[in-house]
Amino acid sequence: DTAVSQTPKYLVTQMGNDKSIKCEQNLGHDTMYWYKQDSKKFLKIMFSYNNKELIINETVPNRFSPKSPDKAHLNLHINSLELGDSAVYFCASSRLGQSSGNTIYFGEGSWLTVV
């Protein structure tokens, strides 16, 4: 049983296209995230949602639009893809409201290549 699952795992697309990555968690968590890992393996948060409400938006270009239809799903839509968007995108989830020791659980990543 996969706790945080995201699709697709691999995506190759042309510049200018629009694409979506879907994420679902079955852990009963109320907070979900998108992180980006660049070619140098550096990981940075993009967005965070709690109970379908946006709580963190880390100055990501507005070509990136997250959508949370319910607290178990957080999808990432990217418009007008650029070469620099090539990266691994990780979905993650946690339970808000406890101490700062909340564990964030990650999906397996979606490898996006823009050509």
Comparing CB distances to another protein, the nearer of 38 and 82 is: 38
39 binds another protein (CB under 8 A): no
**In whole angstroms, how close is the CB of 49 to another protein at the nearest point?**
10
Using CB under 8 A as the binding rule, whether residue 31 contacts another protein is answered as yes
| Closest to another protein by CB, 64 or 106 | 106
- DSSP letters along the chain, please? --SEEEE-SEEEE-TT--EEEEEEE-S--SEEEEEEE-TT--EEEEEEEETTEEEEE-S--TTEEEEEEETTEEEEEE-S--GGG-EEEEEEEE-TTS-TTPPPEE---EEEEE-
* x/- track of binding to another protein for residues 61-90 (CB under 8 A): -----------------------------x
Interacting residues toward another protein by CB under 8 A: 31, 33, 35, 40-45, 48, 50, 55-56, 90, 92, 94, 96, 99-109
